[in-house]
Amino acid sequence: MRKWLIGIPVVIALIGTFIWLNTDRHLRYLLLNPPADINVLFWTTQQRDAGFRSLDSLPVVPKNIIYTSSNVSPLPAGSPLALTDAELDSFMEELRVAGVIVLHRGQVRLERYGLGMDKDDKWTSFSVAKSFTSTLVGAAIKDGYIKSLDDKVTDYIPSMQGSAYDAVSIEQLLTMTSGIAWNEDYSDIHSDVSKFNFHTPEPGVDAIASYMRQLPRAVEPGTRWLYSTGETNLIGLLVSQATGKSLASYLTEKVWQKIGTEHNASWVLGPSGSEIGGCCVQATVRDYLRFAQFVMHGAKVDGTSIVPDDWFAKATTQQADIGSDKKGYGFQWWTNNDGSFEARGIFGQGLFIDPNNDLVIALNANWPKAGGKKYAKGREAFYRRVQSLVSQ
């Protein structure tokens, strides 16, 4: 008996070693080199390389699962794009691309991976999730959970009553024209976008509502566009309140099990246990592509759209003036004057959808900085280069 008891620590050690050796090497790196700050905005590049692909598996990160079905939609191969190796290598290296896939007329014209990723690895979305959340608003209207975009935020989130959001409509949230003050500076540890996920709410109040209802009004609703992740977090909470379902379960029901995804995805939760509507879906680049293709074709399931018939006509065209003669903002989509539109996430995530050319691009990356004109221009140049190749 004594010898058997002595052997227990050895067995435990062997099991632990086996688990450790079979843990993804990037996750091992993160465990051995934990960030000094839990806020991902201030991680090192290497920590982000490891973390962006590990958020789906890190047990310390709370999340809800977005379930796939067994009916996988094929992505057939087409003729390769006429990009030179030098062009593609430069793009992958300079923008630190983790995965990129180009679908033209239903065929894959380019698929390439970097940073140790492959087609079955998941990567976090950052603000690309905003376009998922806005699509769920359309679904909730079609399903009758939300009556109208003219309804007030406080009609669906009672805890926001008495705040500056009393006069704000759902459409103004979607277009980020609420007029509420917000600081989206990713380099400032004291900005709203840096602080909101770490806010301690009052008892019985969701953390998102608790933070957002303390913000002051800057201008009248509908008079100014201001990019605000907080607005999308409120949209996500509003959808959950209206439907009585989590964002992950509603996305599973309306989208993920309908579009032939290959893998389960996940959605990170905030302090109160509800999904962060403005961020952090984890999925493969192929499944992000399937979502974009679904949107381009009108979000139809068995010939019937999950959103109202006129939804994408408004959602993906300019509804708010962002001060550019070539670009605008729709319902959580960035719009272009040529009819194409985009979902964008910090550090280089993106979806580019061009219905006129039957073109979809899905992109995951880890730029050296959260934003910056240099990297944004590089992403834009790649989109336009591909667009020119397929339109010839």
Residue 192, pLDDT score: 95
> Which CATH number among 3.40.710.10, 2.40.30.30, 3.90.600.10, 1.10.730.10 corresponds to the domain 65-391?
3.40.710.10
pTM, two decimal places: 0.92
Residue 26, pLDDT score: 64
Residue 202, pLDDT score: 87
Residue 381, pLDDT score: 97
Residue 25, pLDDT score: 65
Residue 16, pLDDT score: 41
CB atoms within 10 A of CB 33: 13
Check the CA dihedral 185-190-191-197 and report its sign. Answer: positive
Residue 32, pLDDT score: 75
DSSP element (H, E) containing 362: strand 359-365
d(CA 156, CA 99): 38
Which of these, 243, 236, 245, 257, lies nearest to 67 by C-alpha position? 257
d(CA 150, CA 169): 5
d(CA 361, CA 73): 17
Please give the structure tokens belonging to residue 68: 């796939």
Contact yes or no for 243/250 (Cβ under 8 A): yes
Please give the structure tokens belonging to residue 14: 């062997």
Residues 308-321: b if buried by 16+ CB within 10 A, e if exposed? eeebbebbbbbbbe
Residue 320, pLDDT score: 97
Residue 38, pLDDT score: 73
Q: Coil, strand, or helix at residue 282?
A: strand
Domain residue ranges in the chain: 2-58, 65-391
Residue ranges, the chain, pLDDT below 50: 1-23
